Amino acid sequence: MNTLFWFRRDLRLFNNDALYQAIENGCRNAVFFITEKQWQKHDVAAIQLDLLKRRLHFLGELLASKGIQLHIIDAADYAGCVEKLASFCEQHQVKNVYANNEYELNEVNRDKAFLQHADSNGIAFYAYDGDVIAPPGSIKNQSGEMFKVFTPFKNAWLKVYQDTHFYFAEPPQMFEPTEWQPNELLAPDGSSEKWPVDDETLSHVCARFIEEKLATYQDQRDIPSIKGTSGLSPYLALGIVSVHQLLALIQQRHPDVLRSSKSNLFCWVNELIWREFYRHLIAIYPNLNKYENFNDKYNAVKWRDDDSDFKAWCEGKTGYPLVDAAMRQLLQTGWMHNRLRMVVASFLTKHLLIDWRKGERFFMQHLIDGDLASNNGGWQWAASTGCDAQPYFRIFNPITQSERFDPDGEFIRKYLPELEKIPAKQIHFPHDYLAKQGKSSSYWPAIVDHKAARERALNAFKV
């Protein structure tokens, strides 16, 4: 009886129950489909595809050492993927196919199409929920529906996790930490070469974060000039690292981490739960996959169609240094600090009153950690159109955000060298200072006044 494993965004051997079950049932072949046309439709960033293909090369060699051949097959889109998988199964007399579920609408429809073929050809298709702790639809409120507020979802999620997962009592011996961090990386021409793809290095990276930085994550995560975040989001997006694996490692080192959701140690776990929250939403509300507002009362908002302002935002030329430095970081590295993602998203949707969908697409086209559920959820949160989003009247002031989270202007100077000599006190909005000094500057004028933009946004959202 021939068994096949179908890799998707679960590019790992470890902590992959679907793969384990396939191997237990005699799996000696695995497939991955290259779907360039589909990826283009999904606006997948070139740097993410480069990381994916590098990981596939590593994974193929690792599987070969275990006696499993990875077949990488070209298929233009998901329709071609189903067709070529059906042909592969016929050619190799496959009777069992194992895979991990993906929850986006096109992926769900792809699997439904293959399941129809499998049912009519005597092929058993086994799908696992390897990308989440709790499968979408399994966490419900007292009315039997999906939670629409994060905190009660989190509380219910924690109960599910604590009831169903092994609770570690003793920390194991950890790997020796490595110095690798993502914040310094440049990504010329869409290359991901600075991001490691081998399991040994990634184990070191995980260990270093949990050993040295988890305790200070809550205090340092919002400061873009320091390396206070994990840098693991690209690996979660491609399933190179699993949320199960990370939570197990955290509990091994900090057995009490889940007992208090108010502790510093819990702060990063909270971010992992937000990731699950958005995955549940994208599965349960398919219209989110079609870029519709979760909160349809905001369908009445009249977005501005201003190509000039959008171009300035994309290029980091808004005249607000923190916004511009953040966009430069994205363009130069393929990654952006999480606090800055909120700042630039708020600026686009509130200060410029430009549709969140345009920003969401731009992010997907450039982020190495692009992920539909998290990206959609984050953008709709910032735009106040999403599930448990920030209120429409909460509008980030990019100047005070800069003063608070980059007080000395260290991050700004790194990505805006033209402001290198501006004093720290004035760097957050240098235009008045430059004018008073009578200095010419290559730094562009602000494209919008904060106070006027705020009033405009409030009036637009009151509709």
Residue 295: DSSP 8-state: S
Q: Provide the residue type at 299 as one letter.
A: N
Give dist(CA 99, CA 114) in Å, integer. 12
| Nearest to 299, CA basis, from 388, 392, 385, 390 | 385
Nearest 5°: CA angle at 192, between 190 and 195?
155
Give the count of beta carbons closer than 10 Å to the beta carbon of residue 226: 16
- Pairing mode, strands 69-74 and 29-34: parallel
Ramachandran quadrant class, 398 (left: phi over 0; alpha: psi -120 to 50; beta: rest): alpha
Annotation says 104 is catalytic: no
How many C-beta atoms lie closer than 10 Å to residue 32's C-beta? 20
Catalytic residue flag (residue 179)? no
Q: What angle do CA 179, 182, 319 make, to 5 degrees?
A: 135
Question: Quick check: 82 and 90 in contact, CB under 8 A?
Answer: no
Catalytic residue among 157, 313, 335, 379: 379
- The DSSP symbol for 351 reads I
Q: Which residue among 356, 360, 375, 376 is the active-site one?
A: 356
Instruction: Note whether 300 and 349 are within 8 A (CB).
Output: no
Count the Cβ atoms, other than its own, within 10 Å of residue 183. 17
Active-site entry in 157, 195, 268, 274: 274
The catalytic position among 180, 303, 397, 410 is 303
Contact criterion met (CB below 8 Å) for 462 and 299: no
Given the residues 83, 193, 211, 271, the one annotated as active site: 271
**DSSP character string of 36-77:** HHHHHHTT--HHHHHHHHHHHHHHHHHHHHTT-EEEEEE-SS
- Say whether 393 sits in a helix, a strand or coil: coil
Show the beta-strand stretches assigned E in 334-386.
none
Whether 379 sits among the annotated catalytic residues: the reply is yes
Catalytic residue among 109, 338, 397, 410: 338
d(CA 382, CA 395): 9
Other Cβ atoms less than 10 A from the Cβ of 192: the count is 23
Is 356 marked active-site?
Answer: yes
Q: Is 338 a catalytic residue?
A: yes
How many residues can be counted in the chain? Answer: 463
Structure tokens at 450: 């904060």
Q: With the CA atoms of 423, 424, 429 and 434 taken in that order, what torsion angle do they form, in degrees rounded to the nearest 10?
A: 0
> Which residues does the annotation mark as catalytic?
271, 274, 303, 338, 356, 379
